Structure 1
Amino acid sequence: MLIIPIIGKISLRNPPALTILLMLINVVIYFGLQFGDMAKSMSAQQFYFESGLVEIELPRYLAFTEGHAYTDEDLAALENLEEAALHDLLGRSIRDGRFQRALDNDQIIRPDDPAYAEWKPVRAEFRKRYESSVSVKWGFRPIYHRPATAFTYMFLHGGLGHLIGNMVFLWLVGCILEYGAGRVSYLIIYLLGGLTAVGLFYAINYTSALPLVGASGSIAALMGALAVLFGKEKIRIFFTVGFYFNTFRIMAIYLLPLWMGNELFQLFFGGASHVAYTAHIGGLIGGAGLAFLHRRFWRETNTEVLGDDEEDTTSPVLEEAMTHMSKLEFGPARRLLVALQEEEPDNPEILRLLFGIDRHYPERPQIHQTSVAYMKHLSQDIDDRDELIKTYDRYMSAVKTPKLPPVLFLGLCRALTASGRPKDAQRILGMLLKNKPDMPGLPTACLRLADAWKQAGNADLVKRCRLVILKRFPKSPEAAELREALQQG
């Protein structure tokens, strides 16, 4: 069973920088420092078999596990094992912290043992090779625990799949926590939650020599914190059970027993696994506790990150209107769109569809109202310039007499000038100079048109535009700029 939350909103102006930074740290450490760990592990294992350690240590490990002193019968038992069984036995011996510690303390192979002189330097070389792996050196090994590794293990991973899986969960959960709790609390929960994860792992596996690696303990802490911080707020989750998957909304606090129950089930009934479920449980508990303290003493949680709970009623109506339009049923489509426009008067998709309908009926007055509303919206964003000009062309080809406000004509003049259509821009500008000679913005429009004609290589029209500025708007900044240019050159 998989249960993951789905973030509602990501702000490009305020990106989840800390989550991205943590992900980058994990990725850089894996590819920059850990990528050769597998080769080092294989090299150490090969050395173990070729150096003769297998005949010295593993028979004694068999005796150690059975609780009796080493005898030649243990060596004979080892010789009867197949290669796969030998590799499995080696893995078990390396993970067995009590055996490894006893070896280190010369309690298994004592100085008076005939094999000691041969074994000791070879053992030291094997340990050097084995511990050259970043995962072994900086992962948390309970029997060899060091304070530093209680932190460093959080940024190490056992393989590419392990890394990718953790980074997906870190992104999904981390973004919600970063926006909801704030970056300071988020980082505290990540680090201290990782410590509670390793703490429970150590308490239960204190004799293990196997290194604990992975960000999943810290991520589990973030998951526990998410459930407590958002409490009764409903959060959208994605879940799978077998081949079935779906999404639904659930109160965040219910996720804590669901996640905890899943980890406990996997721990006790999931069979043999290298997954550190005890660390996950420790992380969930630690994160939930830290989140409780956050709510109690620190600050409120920003629940807007979960997204808008309101149902989308616009899209179904738009789809129904477009279905009518595809069947040329413009009347029903327009009625739906007009009703929708009363609630969302500035919705560009509604305006676009209304214009698409009304241009089929140029004799009706609605064509002018709809065109003005749509072109006003398009004129607000330079990225919509091409759509603005296309809409203007369609409008002009549909109507006999255009009825656009002067300010919109001026905006169209600027757009046409910038799009390399100075002839059309000049036609609009001439009309404005005739009907609205005192309109603000005309001198600037004339100057831009002069520049456009200059780029087109038409010196006569450049001169004509400049004369219009000098004669009609002699006190304008544009006229002063032209006079200064004429004096200089």
Structure 2
Amino acid sequence: MLIIPAENAVNWKRPPWVTLGLMLACLLVFTFYQGDDRRLTEQAIRAYLESDLQSLEAPVYEDYLQRQIRFQGDEERIYELQNFRQLRQEGGDLWVAYSLLSDREFYQYMLENRDVVLAPAERRRWMAQRGEIQSRLMDRLSANQLGLVPAEFSLYTLVTYQFLHGGWAHLIGNLVFLFLLGFTVEKALGPGRFLLAYLICGALSGVVFTAFSMGSHVPLVGASGSISGLMGMYVAIYGLQKIRFFYFVGVYFNYFRAPALAILPVWLGKEIYDYWFAGATGIAYMAHAGGLVAGAVMVWLLGKSWLQVKEEFFEPEEDEQDERFTTGYSQAMASLGRMEFDLARRQFEALREHYPDRTVLLEHLYQLAKLRPDLPQYRQRARELMNESLNRRRPEQMIQIWQEYLGKGESHQPLSAEDHNRVLFTSLKQHDLKAAEKAFERLRSTGDELLTVEACRLLADEFEKHQMTPKARHYRQLLQRS
């Protein structure tokens, strides 16, 4: 059974760069760094067969498996023993050599018991030949160098093991889940905190794995623990909110909605159950469980400080926002059609709080305010729309609103000197000298001498450029009187 959250869609206008970067890093590491593993393994098998080491190790390996079956009750080893004997009988030397070389626990067993299981002459040959193969080839494999080995615990491997993988299937599976979970958690936390939280979850997952595998020489590789941490963070971010999950059972799949946190014990219980009862599958179930707990606990403990979710995370996506805007806008326009102006104004104001970039809302509010030019709200909306027109590079609209306000609202609520000065500058840029002169007269009437002098100088210069000497002379004279 597979259950994964499927609440969000990717916004490719704001790509999840860290998630994509982590995926690319895993792919590059596997392709280029781990790409040398096959060559090293082939050389090791060739050297092993040439040294005829299987004749020394194979009988000991059968005894080693039998001991584990007898004293540790490891029933899975029964199938390994049967398969190994069949390989020896059928002459599968390559697979025999590979089985013996790749079992690091058996190699440690041989080292610790070489005085018992080998005669002196055999022991010397084994130490010389097997030791060289191990140090020159097998120890250089990526998993042995940078994988997390509980018996040889190193802090740096808590990070490096997260970028190694055991094969293409292992890699592709992890990359798919990393993408499905990563883009949502990255959107919630932000790129920097997401990256750090991802690596910390992977490290804590490795610590849990080490605690349950003390003394093991089998390396842990893969991003599964880190991805489990993303799953824990995902459900902790949503908490008790109902979100959508995708599930797959056998050949049947579908979606269901449930409180996010309700799925955490399901995931955790499955990993613990598989750890005890699934047998030797090669899957690090306790690493997964550790990642799940680490991710959820980090969000719960630090969700109001370092790992606080960004406010815009819970805002609807653009498509949903457009749908909501269209619905609200239609309702406000219907109120206008019924001439319920107060209701329409409240509806447009509510829409503008959520969609401040929609200029059409301000235009409607301006038109509604214009119905009562004697009230201060008309002046406020006129100034807002004038500024918005300038910001959106619509100077003609700005001048038109100003002229309209002069006729309707100036006698009730006069504009400021700064407002008229902005219109004057805009008019000059548009080469609308008539509007500029009108703005100058309004500016002059406000009594602001500093702005008036500067505006007078600008007008005089502008008329001289246009070779309109009488006008230029008029403004020069005004400058001399001021």
Q: TM-score with structure 1 length normalisation?
A: 0.62
Code of the residue aligned with 1:277 in structure 2: it is: Y
1:134–1:444 Cα change, 3 Å? farther
SS at match of 1:36: helix
Matched, 1:38 2:34: yes
SS at match of 1:460: coil
- 2:108 maps to what in 1? 101
Matched, 1:213 2:221: yes
- 1:389 maps to what in 2? 395
Code of the residue aligned with 2:221 in structure 1: it is: V
Separation in 1 of the partners of 2:138 and 2:481? 86
Deviation at 1:205, TM superposition (A): 3.9
Query: 2:23·2:175 contact (CA, 8 Å) conserved in 1?
Result: yes
Separation in 2 of the partners of 1:50 and 1:437? 98
Separation in 2 of the partners of 1:391 and 1:411? 13
Deviation at 1:281, TM superposition (A): 0.7
Separation in 1 of the partners of 2:276 and 2:457? 80
1:241–1:165 Cα change, 3 Å? closer
Deviation at 1:323, TM superposition (A): 9.4
Match for residue 437 of structure 1 among 429, 444, 453: 444
Query: 2:230·2:292 contact (CA, 8 Å) conserved in 1?
Result: yes
- 2:88 maps to what in 1? 78
Deviation at 1:304, TM superposition (A): 6.9
Separation in 2 of the partners of 1:473 and 1:172? 67
Code of the residue aligned with 1:430 in structure 2: it is: E
SS at match of 1:239: strand
Match for residue 49 of structure 2 among 45, 48, 53: 53
Separation in 2 of the partners of 1:69 and 1:267? 21
Separation in 2 of the partners of 1:428 and 1:465? 16
- 1:198 maps to what in 2? 206
- 1:15 maps to what in 2? none
- 1:240 maps to what in 2? 246
Larger displacement relative to structure 2 (101-110 or 428-437):
101-110
1:320–1:382 Cα change, 3 Å? closer
Match for residue 146 of structure 1 among 149, 153, 161: 153
1:325-375 alpha-carbon deviations (Å, 9 max, x no partner): 8xx99725986743402545665577615747998x9xx958999997666
Matched, 1:319 2:315: no
Separation in 2 of the partners of 1:258 and 1:474? 87
Query: 1:141·1:210 contact (CA, 8 Å) conserved in 2?
Result: yes
Query: 2:349·2:365 contact (CA, 8 Å) conserved in 1?
Result: no
Deviation at 1:272, TM superposition (A): 7.5
1:170–1:303 Cα change, 3 Å? closer
Separation in 2 of the partners of 1:379 and 1:274? 68
Query: 1:6·1:236 contact (CA, 8 Å) conserved in 2?
Result: no
1:282–1:31 Cα change, 3 Å? closer
- 2:78 maps to what in 1? none
Separation in 2 of the partners of 1:173 and 1:304? 10
1:64–1:378 Cα change, 3 Å? farther
Give me the CA root mean square deviation: 6.0
Deviation at 1:434, TM superposition (A): 2.4
Count of aligned residue pairs for this structure pair: 435
Seq. identity, %:
16
Query: 1:7·1:175 contact (CA, 8 Å) conserved in 2?
Result: no
Code of the residue aligned with 1:340 in structure 2: it is: Q
- 1:256 maps to what in 2? 264
1:402–1:266 Cα change, 3 Å? farther
Separation in 1 of the partners of 2:145 and 2:23? 18
- 2:478 maps to what in 1? 471
Separation in 2 of the partners of 1:238 and 1:463? 76
Separation in 1 of the partners of 2:441 and 2:107? 97
1:280-307 alpha-carbon deviations (Å, 9 max, x no partner): 2123345566777779xx9798577485
1:225–1:320 Cα change, 3 Å? closer
In the alignment, structure 2 segments of 5+ residues that lack a partner are 67-83
1:108-159 alpha-carbon deviations (Å, 9 max, x no partner): 98474569648844652454334334443121123x4223355334553327
1:371–1:315 Cα change, 3 Å? farther
Code of the residue aligned with 1:136 in structure 2: it is: N
Code of the residue aligned with 2:137 in structure 1: it is: R
- 1:282 maps to what in 2? 290
Deviation at 1:240, TM superposition (A): 1.2
SS at match of 2:144: helix
